[in-house]
Chain A
Amino acid sequence: MGAQPFTSPVEDSVPKVGEGEKAIAVGENLEFQRKWWRFERVVWAVFLVILVCDVMGLLGRGWLAKAKATTPELTLDYERVARAGTPSVMTLTFGDGAIHEGKIRVYVSDSVVKPLGAQRIAPQPAMSMVGDGGITYTFDASRAPAVVQIALEPSFPGVHDFTVKVEGDQEIDGKVLVVP
């Protein structure tokens, strides 16, 4: 069986400008460009919204990213929106009722250590004890106010729950949204 001849006509589909022999093959698609200009306007509006959200802290490291939770003996300041691989700080301020016999015992859930990436704790606790899905730190303390800071560096994006509880007080349950 011999080769079949080509039957499709050879056509120049590139749109041209000009007439006759002076026509120039440009390939313009003005209708597409008009749609693109409309799309660009929407995109820049979205970019503006994203930047405003960023300035306000909705994407972390700003005013709206800061959160505070309070129980009678503990005030917890943290960032409800954090960024992966970026440092943030969780600050625990204890009241007088948190100090028992010169010690403060505070429980933090494992999620503070793993997904939220606790890097260090200041001051260093006198003792750490693991168990119950978390770590119980014991600090030597005199009287309120007493402050402990936990430096965090979340390792991966997502919503991470955590729990903080001072001995003899209510527990604080919180969520941190970690953005990429």
Chain B
Amino acid sequence: MPTILHAVAGYFILLFLVRVLKRRAGSQMTLFEFVLVFLMGGIIILSTVGNDRSVTNCTCAVMAVGLMHRGVAWAKSKSPRIGAIVDGTPLVVIRDGVIQEEVMRGMKLRTEDLEAAGRSSGVTRVEDIGYAVLERNGRISVFGKS
């Protein structure tokens, strides 16, 4: 029983911690997936299983984390608000050719991030980007001026 409570607490603590971290530009994983990576990587799992490293205990802990993940995914599918809280929303970084300084500052983005995103989309100069969107998974989608 304590293990399951610890796993539930660990899941939400880590989900919250990762969520309040900034989205890393260029990241290929959503923050949502990071939760599992961290948890199963063993940070919270140390306090989750404690001294009981039996197969039964560890299996129960992993099952509890899986169940939490499924529950949060279900809640996200039912409520856009919960989805926005857990994953955030996409943010427009360049709007009609104009860099949105508020978003750049808020998301700790640098012009180099926009240049890199532009290059990966075949746009060589930031000035040629019409729209750039920071996606929920940290990737920047670029649309050239046309």
Chain A: residues with CB nearer than 8 A to chain B?
Answer: 17-18, 22, 24, 26-30, 32-34, 36-37, 39-40, 43-44, 85, 180
Contact = CB atoms under 8 A, between A and B. Distances in A.
A43 B20 contact: yes
Contact of B20 (A24, A26, A30, A40): A40
Given A18-B96, A43-B20, A30 B143 contact: no
A118 to B, nearest CB: 17
A84 to B, nearest CB: 9
B90 A37 contact: no
B143 A24 contact: yes
B131 interface: yes
Interface centre among B89, B103, B131 (most CB of A within 10 A): B89
Contacts of A34: 106
B72 interface: no
B122 interface: no
Interface in B39-91: 50-51, 84, 88-91
A26 B88 contact: no
Contact of A26 (B50, B90, B96): B90
Contacts, number: 44
A28 B91 contact: yes
Given A17-B95, A44-B20, A27 B89 contact: yes
B133 interface: yes
B27 to A, nearest CB: 17
A36 B51 CA distance: 38
Contacts of A39: 20
A157 to B, nearest CB: 10
Interface in B93-138: 95-96, 103, 106, 130-131, 133
A27 B146 contact: no
A37 B108 CA distance: 11
A34 B88 CA distance: 11
A91 to B, nearest CB: 25
A28 B133 CA distance: 9
Given A17-B131, A18-B131, A27 B90 contact: yes
Contact of A28 (B9, B89, B106, B130): B89
A33 B95 contact: no
Contacts of A180: 9
B92 interface: yes
Given A18-B130, A28-B91, A34-B106, 10 more contacts: A17-B131, A17-B133, A22-B146, A24-B131, A27-B90, A30-B103, A33-B103, A33-B106, A36-B88, A40-B20
Given A18-B131, A43-B20, A85-B51, A29 B84 contact: yes
